[in-house]
A and B are shown apart, each in its own frame.
Chain A
Amino acid sequence: MALQQIRIGRALAYVAALAISAFILAPIYLITISAFSTFDAIYEYPRQLVPRDVSTDTMRLFLNSDGIVDSLRRSAIVAAITIVVCLAIGTPAGYAIARFSFRGGDPFQLALVSTRAFPLIIIAVPLAVTYLRVGIDDTVYGVAMAHIAFTLPLTVLVTASVFAGISYELEEAAMTLGCNRFSAFRRVALPLALPGVAASAIFIFVTSWNEVFAAAILTFRNRTLPAQLLAALDASPLPHRLAGGFFLLAPALVVIFFIRKYLLTTWGRVAR
């Protein structure tokens, strides 16, 4: 009897898990087959649920249309700057939190956690005004600086959590063997932390790649991909929108694969 109940429970759990998976995958599947079909197929009704007319026409139209390749390039540059600066500034701070107990350390951590109560919107509008005055309005650098401000607190918390997971004894051992503090960090702690730091880099990339509001407010002509898509939303034809949606979505499929374990351990712990 009890065994039977467990079996039924298991079966129900599978049904639920499969149903949720289908709900998550369906839109991704549909936008993918739309992005890789002919124009006729996109305008046709009823829509093809199983692709018959596979083609790269829609994709090519999208990539050849005005400003798209440039906006893709800009999105990549913004993300690259954001990753490099965020890690360069954030990793040392994360290391400090993990390795030292110092006056002001806890308030610093609390301040980082509480930045999440402050939406990016509140800093985007004033930044737009400042950028105009300083003369860096409508540039990738301006967008990147906003993205750094937005991703830096989480980067510090996550790298702190990564370093906290690496035993300090290893660094101490290196120091007794002739390393100084910095070379012990560089030759022992950093290599061990590298997978975790790389996962942070990937997460920073996703945040920056997806960010719409600040990018749309801080740029006018030199738009990133999401800002470009948003600005042209009502003006652009359906194939263009679908291909654009696919381009925004595609990195997610790859990226999550690489950082799925870290998302559950590190991010979950930090969030708590």
Chain B
Amino acid sequence: MTSIAQETAPLTRRKRRWEVLPYWLILPTVVYLGLFFVWPMIQGFGLALRDEDGWGITAFETMVNDPAFGEAMSFTFLLILVIVPIQFVLAFGMALLLNAKLRGSGIFLYIFLLPLAISDLAAGIAWSAIFTERGYLNTILEGAGVLDQPHIFLDPTSRTQQIVAVATAEIWRSTTFMMVILFAGLQAIPRDYVEAAEVFGAGFFQRVRHVIMPMLKPSIQVAILLRLIFAFEVFAVVIALTGSGATVLAAEAYKWQATNQNEHVAAAYSVVILGLSLAAAAVVLVVLRTPRERRLR
């Protein structure tokens, strides 16, 4: 994460003259985020650690004892296991393709970026039209002679099918944001390095493995980090594709708040989601850490 202040370092000399002004400028943002971000978060912990009778961990007990909790957990983690490796490879490939400056890359750029503005609900609806029994996938497979009769792709009892369907929609929708991060990283790599490797006879895969990947590590770190964090928030796409067949953590939080009207258990779920996000962040930062002496920039 390059600090923007660093990029504008020469401005330091002006700091004396306008000492108070920057604080006035950031004040509204600080106040707003204090009131609508930090305070609700503290309240969230309070809600989760309370019930109608007073303080306690009953909300967490209710949450853990609900069979849906285990299902939501395992579905969320299975989904992560399936999508993260596939998305990383795909996003990296897409970033390399854009970086190769093919003819018509402007069009590819537009198409590759499209999913960035598509909501998970829209993705779920679009893919359910494809996967449904009388849907487009069966139409195509039957038309191609692969199937004789419509196959059921969204069997509500099949965990595998639900994972495949949700993973496909998620990969379709959210690979782009990883690509954007990786592409920005790629562009910061000096061409000379790659060309030097080429001169010394490194093939394409060697260049990727030994020159590009090491230099791209900070971007890879951020891309995987954000991917994991967003994965714990996956919600509407699961509901749209599986109905109530499968559940994830965010869907349970929604259910407890909107249907069961129990904000304590809903808050307990959101605390779990936050805990997992922070744990994921910590793991990624440690696993993908670059030792200081090996840093290239």
Judge whether B28 and A271 touch: CB under 8 Å.
Answer: no
Q: Contact: B29 with A89, CB < 8 Å?
A: yes
Determine which of A120, A164, A252 lies in contact with B114 in the assembled complex, contact meaning CB atoms within 8 Å.
A252
Q: Of residues 181 to 232 in A, which have CB atoms within 8 Å of B's CB atoms?
A: 181, 206, 209-213, 216-217, 226, 229-230
Which residues of chain B come closer than 8 Å to A136, judged between CB atoms? none
What's the dominant secondary structure at chain B's contact region? helix
Please give me the residue from chain A that is nearest to B6 by CB atom: A106
Contact indicator B134/A129 (Cβ below 8 Å)? no
- Checking A117, A149, A229, A269 against B184 with a beta-carbon cut-off of 8 angstroms, the contacting residue is A269
B193, CB-defined interface residue at 8 Å: no
CB distance A27 to B184 under 8 Å? no
The answer to whether A119 and B181 have CB atoms under 8 Å apart is no
Distance between B38 CB and nearest chain A CB, rounded to angstroms: 9
Check A30 against B129 for contact (C-beta < 8 Å): yes
The total of interchain contacts (Cβ-Cβ below 8 angstroms) comes to 316
Per a CB cutoff under 8 Å, which of A105, A211, A212, A234 touches B22?
A105
> Which residues of chain B (83-102) have a CB below 8 Å from chain A?
90, 93-94, 97, 100, 102
- How many Å from the CB of B245 to the closest CB on chain A? 11
Pair B36/A127 contact, Cβ less than 8 Å:
yes
Q: Is A54 an interface residue (CB 8 A)?
A: no
Number of residues from A at the complex interface, CB < 8 A: 104
Within 8 A of B (CB), among A1-42: 9-10, 13-14, 16-17, 20-21, 23-28, 30-31, 34
Are A31 and B22 closer than 8 Å at their CB atoms?
no
Asked whether A122 and B184 contact (CB < 8 A) given A146-B36, A148-B36, the answer is no
Check if A177 is an interface residue, CB within 8 A of chain B.
no
Among the interface residues B32, B37, B140, B229, which one has the most CB atoms of the partner chain A within 10 A? Answer: B37
**B267 A125 Cβ-Cβ under 8 A:** yes
Residues in A whose Cβ lies below 8 Å from that of B239: 230, 233
Instruction: Please encode chain B, from 251 to 269, with 1 for each CB lying within 8 Å of some chain A CB and 0 for all others.
Output: 0011001100001001101
Q: Measured between alpha carbons, how far is A27 from B112 in the docked complex, in Å? A: 14
Residues facing A in B22-71 (CB within 8 A) are: 22-23, 25-26, 28-30, 32-33, 36-37, 40-41, 43-44, 46-47
Min CB gap B177→A, angstroms: 8
Q: How far is the CB of B289 from chain A (nearest CB, A)?
A: 16
Instruction: Write out the residue numbers on chain A whose beta carbons fall within 8 Å of the beta carbon of B250.
Output: 119, 121, 213
- Of the candidates A9, A88, A100, A249, which one forms a contact with B11 in the assembled complex, judged by CB atoms under 8 Å apart? A100
Say yes or no for B72: interface residue by CB 8 A criterion: no
Report the count of interface residues on B (CB-CB < 8 A).
Answer: 107
The reply to whether A264 and B183 form a contact with Cβ atoms under 8 Å apart is yes
CB atoms of A152 and B32 under 8 A apart: yes
Determine if A20 and B112 form an interchain contact, defined as CB atoms under 8 angstroms apart: yes
Give the chain A neighbours of B138 by CB distance below 8 A.
Answer: 45-46
Chain B residues with CB under 8 A of A164: 4, 7-8
Q: Within the complex, which residue of A116, A122, A256 is in contact with B117, where a contact is CB–CB below 8 Å?
A: A256
Q: Quick check: B184 and A213 within 8 Å, CB to CB? A: no
Name 26 interchain pairs, CB-CB below 8 A, sorted by A. A16-B97, A24-B111, A30-B126, A30-B130, A49-B136, A49-B143, A92-B25, A108-B30, A117-B281, A121-B250, A126-B44, A161-B4, A164-B8, A168-B11, A210-B120, A212-B120, A213-B233, A230-B236, A242-B129, A252-B114, A256-B110, A260-B110, A263-B180, A272-B184, A272-B188, A272-B222
Q: Using a CB–CB distance below 8 Å, which chain B residues touch chain A?
A: 1-5, 7-9, 11-12, 14-15, 18-19, 21-23, 25-26, 28-30, 32-33, 36-37, 40-41, 43-44, 46-47, 90, 93-94, 97, 100, 102, 108-123, 125-130, 134-136, 138-140, 142-143, 150, 172, 180-181, 183-185, 187-188, 204, 218-219, 222, 226, 229, 232-233, 235-236, 239-240, 243-244, 250, 253-254, 257-258, 263, 266-267, 269-271, 273-274, 277-278, 281
- Apart from A168-B8, A271-B226, what are 14 other A-B pairs with CB-CB below 8 Å? A27-B127, A92-B26, A106-B5, A115-B37, A118-B274, A119-B233, A121-B233, A121-B253, A123-B36, A123-B44, A153-B33, A212-B235, A256-B114, A268-B180
Interface on A for B, CB 8 Å cutoff?
9-10, 13-14, 16-17, 20-21, 23-28, 30-31, 34, 43, 45-47, 49, 88-90, 92-93, 95-102, 104-106, 108-109, 113, 115-130, 145-146, 148-149, 152-153, 156-157, 160-161, 164, 168, 181, 206, 209-213, 216-217, 226, 229-230, 233-234, 241-242, 244-245, 248-249, 251-253, 255-257, 260, 263-265, 267-269, 271-272
